[in-house]
Structure 1
Amino acid sequence: MQYRTQPDGSVSITEIEDIFKAHQNRPKAEQIKLVTITGASTITGYKPPIYEIAALAHRYGAKMFADVCQLIQHERVDMHADDHPCHLDFVAFSGHKIYASYEPIPLIIFVLQSLSLLRTENEKSRFSSTFYEKK
């Protein structure tokens, strides 16, 4: 399922929810399981409401992936704790966007929110990842 943006490049939360509603009664294999979105457009500068979309995705049982490569160097990106309705399940960005070395890994993918091996249940409930905060 692919969503097309509005003519001005923005997204419509109402239209995205309508897509979820249209898929919610389908067999489990046909329901939406992952929403992916950019954190900011390099062409228009538009920043979609990733946290609002995350809350919507979780309400319908889907995970949320945000490509924050063009966002993370400009503003704070908070994955939030797993129990937060707006949490981001996965984010990706190039390490050099946060002044990391270009070597050896050009892309950093954080999946900490979903890796239960890294934290106890108690730690999961209070864990919040902040990858960049502008001073």
Structure 2
Amino acid sequence: MNKQIQFASAMLALSLVLAIYGILVFANAEKERDLQALQIQMNLVADSRLEAIEHWLQGQYAVLERSARHPPLRKALEDMSQLGASPDETLRELLSMTVERMGFLSRQTTGYPSERLETGLEGGLALLDPQGRLLASTSGMPPIVGCAVGVS
């Protein structure tokens, strides 16, 4: 009878070890499944954000392209280029309105302290003649170095 009790105890211990091993395998499988589901969801979110950013960029380029193809603006730029005239306040106003339409905000207009913003994020819009000389720019526009411009 002693041997039967030992055998039963050994079988109980073995079944307990197997049960714990099964629980651990099941838990790891569920963890991997949940992780894969989370990765799929994150990929969907990232893809939708990428699509939204691309759509926004296309809208920004569309505003710039419409401005660049605007016949009165092109005529004024050609006249200024031929006359060698200095930047006109009208061009600055046009750039300011374009910047406002595009939703562009500079550090000056946001009011954020410069230490809260990353360096190198300054920007603006500029109008250049076909030779790449600056005609007009918005405030906060960094210097333009080595710019080759082609008018189409």
Q: What's the TM-score, normalizing by structure 1?
A: 0.24
The structure whose Rg is larger is 2
TM-score norm. by structure 2 comes to 0.22
Q: Which structure has the highest strand share of the two? A: 1
